Amino acid sequence: MATFATNQFKQGLKIMLDGDPYTIVENEFVKPGKGQAFNRVKVRNLKTGRVIERTFKSGESVEGADVVDTDMQYLYSDGDAWHFMNPETFDQVQASETAMGDAAQWLKGEETCVVTLYNGEPLTVTPPNFVELKITETDPGVRGDTATGGSKPATLETGAVVKVPLFIEEGEVLKVDTRTGEYVSRVKD
Amino acid sequence: MRAFFDDRGVLEVDTPVLGRGASLEPHLASLSLADPFDEARYLQTSPEAHMKRLLAVGSGPIFQIAHCFRAGEAGRLHNPEFLLLEWYRPGMSLAELCNEVGELISLLHPEIDAATETLDYGECFAGITGLDPHGCPDGALRAWLGEQDLPGDLPMRADCLDLAFSSRVVPRLAERGGLTWVQGFPVCMAQLARVDNDRAVRAELFWNGVEVANAYDELTDAQELARRCQAWAEARRGVGLPVPKVDAALQAAHAHGLPACAGVAVGFDRLLMLANGAPSLDAILPFTAARA
């Protein structure tokens, strides 16, 4: 894996620190007028999500991390692993429950997700920003009750539960923002 | 601004950016130019050398807005090419010159709170680290840096002090905001300032935590200059940095006789950046090095 010197540091660069892959969130060049230069960086641990600060002497080198974000198609899940395929190379990978995180609840099949591969293995999976899913179960709304602004839970075909306005009925297809888990709108055919 | 200096009898000068001399200070990286018809020359890291040569032959007070070049310095507050407003006042004390700097800033940015704080380097440093920067052993500094999860394996004491100061003291200055002079620097950070009473007669001005000026009661002793240059050459050799030849003309100027004077270098781009409330040099420079 390549090494990077401090003058190559920039946001998004993937590096190894203390044996874990990190991404640079912020990079600041610090140099008193007549003094030694430093790079003060904020880095996020790609395994734990924790952000820490580190100071490097100018000119120091760090090892790059083999972390690649790849668009992959979700195929299916066999309960233990979630299977993805690279539509260009037809390579397949299996993501663990840890790597899936919250993503699993939004996927029914064939969605293109961003799979972050670390040394070739899925580290995290990011679903598309929006998905369209059918409601399989929800209490009936009170007819005409469009003005109250209340909400009720609705279970989607993947098992995810979202809050929806009272006028939404079972069987309707919803657009959901996977980043917030919130109902966005109805999808009309 | 020119009227400011004119009123005070300070002459504007314009000296070459290219010269045979280069600074030996360990953390200044000079850009050099190959000349197909002559010996290689350096781009100045500051106009100091030429201006001191003028002072030595009786120029009297002089100022310059100089294009300066420092390799490897790029960031929110740095650009490899930048402007220094530098001036020298024979016969003035450092304190008097610092006042003059304050007057200039008030002129350029009338809204600034003219009440400037003056802090002592040793007190600030000890207050944050619990260590005396003038007297504590190098090992104690490195150990403290290690505890703070900062790199401690730095070659020089001044490097350790700089790291501690910029990481822990400067953010406090930024929080307080406004103008703050820090004076009473440790001897190892004297650069080209006189040393008196075990302190470098040097002061730095911070505006909202950003270093905007560096002022000295200038070193005038030729032998001391030679001694410092030698020490810097060895330090550079020690870490594998290129070692430029000593600037013979600057040495000669000191030997000839530099008048007692206070001098200051103001980061002109930074001054304009802060006066305009801009977040970075990039916001006020028409072209940073990345786009030049």
Closest CB from B27, B72, B267 relative to A35: B27
Residues 146-185 of B with CB under 8 A from A: 149-151, 154, 156, 158-159, 162-163, 165-167
Residues 206-235 of B with CB under 8 A from A: 211, 214
Rounded CA-CA distance B229/B246 in Å is 7
Is A58 near chain B, with CB under 8 Å?
yes
Is A110 near chain B, with CB under 8 Å?
no
Q: pTM value?
A: 0.84
Is A10 near chain B, with CB under 8 Å?
no
Count CB neighbours of A151 within 10 A: 13
Residues of chain A neighbouring B150 (CB-CB closer than 8 A): 55
Question: Residues 6 or more apart from A173 whose CB is under 8 A from it?
Answer: A132, A133, A134, A135, A186, A187, A189
Residue with token string 């040097």 = B202
pLDDT digits (tens, 9 = 90+) for B166-195: 999 999 999 988 999 999 999 999 999 999
3-state secondary structure of A48: coil
How close B211 gets to chain A, by Cα (Å)?
A: 7
pLDDT digits (tens, 9 = 90+) for B25-68: 999 999 999 999 998 899 999 999 999 999 999 999 999 999 99
Short-list B13, B58, B17, B49, CA closest to B250: B49
Q: Provide the CB-side half-sphere exposure for A22 (13 A, CA).
A: 24
H-helix or E-strand spanning residue B233 = helix B222-238
Question: Residues 6 or more apart from A4 whose CB is under 8 A from it?
Answer: A13, A15, A61, A62, A63, A64
Q: Are residues B165 and A7, on separate chains, in Cβ contact within 8 Å?
A: no
What's the pLDDT at B104? 95
Query: Is pLDDT of A149 > 90?
Result: no
Residue B264 to residues B41, B89, B261, Cα–Cα distance (Å): 25, 9, 10
Closest CB from B75, B162, B214 relative to A36: B162
